[in-house]
Chain A
Amino acid sequence: KAGVTQTPRYLIKTRGQQVTLSCSPISGHRSVSWYQQTPGQGLQFLFEYFSETQRNKGNFPGRFSGRQFSNSRSEMNVSTLELGDSALYLCASSLIPSGRQETQYFGPGTRLLVL
């Protein structure tokens, strides 16, 4: 079974631009979560989607948004990019959103560099 895939793997943008990252969960998984990883702030939760609905949202500005499609694939969008948005963006999928029991499987991430 294929793992979580994220595209693109690497991305370079300039300040003020916007970017869209894509995540395809493991087949059959319906919950997708996004995390931002930076050297300074570590791993921080962005948001979680299940059945095309956002279930949880982390403490990030409104420039960060996401969505989930009927096939469970998810996208996240960052508008008006800032230098501080440079990070590794990780996507994770699980069968259902039950943090206590469900194992989340992470993708390799998209590394975004904002110049």
Chain B
Amino acid sequence: GNSVTQMEGPVTLSEEAFLTINCTYTATGYPSLFWYVQYPGEGLQLLLKATKADDKGSNKGFEATYRKETTSFHLEKGSVQVSDSAVYFCALSDPNNAGNMLTFGGGTRLMVKP
């Protein structure tokens, strides 16, 4: 079956540091890949997505590139802010399913200190 593996957190960084959160996946075919962010007490917000190999998704300074050869979709940001503190989830949509079912990774908590 499909699966998503993320690096375990928490990841603690100082403000303006470089961020990388690793995400690898297992799926048949060509899934679409997503990063969602969850702030305390809230639901999930879509951060960025990529629907085919070599696509780069970007939003609010975050970027991730769909790498089919390494089955990865690592999240990066050049300079984090305290307001980026949240839990980040990598997810994929099943290419063999026409619906909206998402498979999520376990989440990575990011803590940014001033």
Contact = CB atoms under 8 A, between A and B. Distances in A.
Contacts of A55: 98-99
B100 A90 contact: no
B43 A103 contact: no
Interface residues of A, number: 29
Given A43-B89, A106-B45, A48 B101 contact: yes
Contacts of A99: 32, 93-94, 97-102
A92 B89 contact: no
Q: B interface, how many residues as a size bin?
A: 20 to 34
B46 A33 contact: no
Nearest to B43: A106
B81 interface: no
Given A103-B46, A106-B45, A107-B43, A42 B93 contact: no
Contact of B42 (A56, A58, A101, A108): A108
B4 to A, nearest CB: 10
A49 to B, nearest CB: 10
B95 interface: yes
Interface string A35-60: 10000001111001010000110100
Q: Which 9 residue pairs of A and B lie closest in terms of their CB atoms, listed nearest first? A: A99-B93, A106-B43, A43-B104, A106-B44, A97-B99, A100-B32, A56-B99, A108-B43, A55-B99
Interface of A: 4, 31, 33, 35, 42-45, 48, 50, 55-56, 58, 90, 92, 94, 97-109
29 contacts: A31-B100, A33-B99, A33-B101, A43-B91, A43-B102, A45-B102, A48-B101, A56-B97, A56-B99, A56-B101, A58-B101, A90-B43, A90-B44, A97-B98, A97-B99, A97-B100, A99-B32, A99-B97, A99-B99, A99-B102, A100-B32, A103-B46, A103-B49, A105-B46, A106-B43, A106-B44, A107-B43, A108-B42, A108-B43
Given A42-B105, A100-B51, 9 more contacts: A33-B101, A33-B102, A42-B104, A50-B99, A56-B99, A99-B100, A100-B93, A104-B100, A105-B46
